[in-house]
Chains A and B, each alone.
Chain A
Amino acid sequence: MAKAGSGVFKDWEALHQQWWNAVSEGAGKFVQGDWRDGTKAFGDLFGGKLGDGTDAATERFVSGTKQYLDWVEKFSGQLAHGAQFPKDASGWVKLFQGALGPMGEMKNPLHDLFATMTGDGARGFEQFFSGWPNPADWAKGEVQGLLGLPAFGYNRETQERQQKLTAAWLRYQDAMGAYNRLMLEASKGALGKFESLLAAREEQGRKLETLREVYDLWVDAAEEGYAEVSLSPEFRTAYGNLVNQQMTVRKLVQTEVERFTGQFGMPTRTEVDSTARRMQELRREMRALQERLDALEAATSAPKAAKPTVVKSKSTPSKAPAKKAAARRSR
């Protein structure tokens, strides 16, 4: 194996510093500050051109570019600071793996991607409850004991509801764990795919000559690995379970919020829904009545409308067009 910092690669270290300065300087100018300071520096990047979605779009751009630059820095940095240049696909994958960082396999690889989606854009499962109190905290570390306690006395119903909510939260955490485990599988699969794609290129004599090409190939591999896992029966079960457990917790929390706000005379979700249901029924009834009215009006106005067509029909031997027009109006 060739070693960075010697022979043909002797320039790596110096060049690494040189190009990294160039990137940092460019990025600094772009964001008017230190690009590593993410959202703060990128603040008004899109200048309101995306309307309400500006923040979300900015964060997506910041996140994508930042993760890429992080990887570039680590990947190239390993070479510049003495890592050896691999000879084959397997060696490159090992080097690549070391530079993956937040995109890597040590945790749910999508976690950091999803974690950026905190604006008006979509939110991932883990962000869904961010900012909410953890129902398990309510039990102050005695979750299992609390769940096992029989409820009785003055606070019996309250205690039962809290037990139910805490149990649901724990099930949700389990479901999230199962989902994350599958994500890890996807990540491991991605590295395997990456190695295969590299090996295939090597066989064909096709080389990757830029960092961007390496990155793009890794994305192809990552998507393949993810697709394989996310189309598996295990994922179907885990995903369904995660959604269902999340909805269960959310519904129980909503119930608690409703009970609380109801005590202060605030309108609750149940009341709003009830109004919406009635409004929709009224819309349907009104529309049906309107259509009946239109039909009646059309029927009664049809003979009157026949008059001018009769006049018109004097100039034409056939009455067919008049009949057709009347029929059209009555529809």
Chain B
Amino acid sequence: MMGPIQLEPNKVAAELSRFGEKLAKGMNVLKNVPDVHYGASDKEAIYKEDKLVVYRFKSAHKVTHKTPLLIAYALVNRPYMVDLQDDRSIVKSLLAAGHDVYLIDWGYPDPSDRYVTLDDYINGYLRRSVKAVSKHTGVDKINLLGICQGGAFSLCYANLYPETLQNLITMVTPVDFQTPDNMLSHWTQGMDVDLFIDTLGNVPADLMNWCYLTLKPYRLLQQKYVGMTDILDNPGEMENFLRMEKWIFDSPDQAGEAFRQFIKDFYQGNKLLKGGLKIGEKAIDLKAIKLPILNIFAEQDHLVPPNASRALKGATSTKDYTELSFKGGHIGIYVSGRAQREVPPAIDQWLRKRG
């Protein structure tokens, strides 16, 4: 009678009346939702340098893994991404599994950090962070978990300083930066990055966030907020929503020089995979990596498409390569219930077999 859309007056009236009621109730819920906080686990600083801090998470559980685990996330994120709240915390799950977990907080770059380079980040901050964890625990080798861009950094690091690592875990890490479905990469190809950085200095976080939102503008700028009305009368869900909202838009500016090289060499040159990448004076060759690798990627990742991560398979010389495919997106892999059930246990089991 009405083709594919079967709207009935009474049902539509009921639907929209419910919508109005939700909005009315929502105000009271919002008033009473407590201020949102994040960071579920206690931690202590064990190393500081410039704006960087290396934290060790305090655990109520006995540490049963002799090799500590250091987490290095992407420069666009914040440390609590892996420890958002009690029931959404990779860190909490790993602590419960007996791991000694450390985390690099890269800090918020300001204009004085405009000239921090990838060399400074990888040969400097990351190397000294690994050293600090090593010294703190009294072991020669640690496990490194690199997330997204932090995973790309970790691959470079593993190539340059393999003697300091026992195992390497990469999570939603781009390796092939030019897969056909990589929208971010596609957009950067025509950019004059030198002009961009020479003009902006540090890249403003707002601009980065805007860019991410425009990957899926209708969903992220509109539908998401229409969807929010569904949970307006649910204090718990609203608290989670607001926490996510705060997290997503809490991004540091990007140090200009590091950004320049990352776009030019990784996105435009695809040198991590194709070769020719240098970090400082040191050449990077993925084939030189022989460490055991666990590569985790998300099947619905719109920032780092699965194929960008899958490219790691066969790119190194490791004989111990494992892939874990997660049914979710780039954000969901840290925060969804499914991720909590699947990802930390998989990391734990993989590490348990390798010491």
Contacts and interface: CB of A to CB of B under 8 A. Distances in A.
Interface string A222-266: 110011001100011101110110011011001000000000000
B30 A45 contact: yes
Interface string B18-42: 0111111011001101111000000
Contacts of A240: 187-192
A202 B3 contact: yes
A198 B222 contact: no
Contacts of B208: 122
A2 B8 CA distance: 13
Interface string B35-55: 110000000000001100000
Interface string B317-346: 000000000000000000000000000000
5 contacts: A22-B13, A49-B242, A92-B4, A202-B4, A272-B111
Interface string A27-69: 1011110010000000001111111010011001101110110
A60 B5 contact: no
Contacts of A250: 199-200
Interface of A: 2, 9, 11-12, 15, 18-20, 22-27, 29-32, 35, 45-51, 53, 56-57, 60-61, 63-65, 67-68, 72, 76, 79, 85-89, 91-92, 103, 110, 113-114, 116-117, 120-124, 198-199, 201-202, 206-212, 214-216, 219, 222-223, 226-227, 230-231, 235-237, 239-241, 243-244, 247-248, 250-251, 254, 269, 272-273, 275-277, 279-281, 283-284, 287, 328, 331
B353 interface: no
A210 B225 contact: no
Contacts of B225: 60-61, 63-65
| B contact face: mostly helix, strand, loop, or mixed | helix
B114 A26 contact: no
Contacts of B211: 122
A287 B124 contact: yes
Nearest to A92: B5
A63 B232 CA distance: 16
B245 to A, nearest CB: 5
B234 interface: no
B214 interface: yes
B111 A276 contact: yes
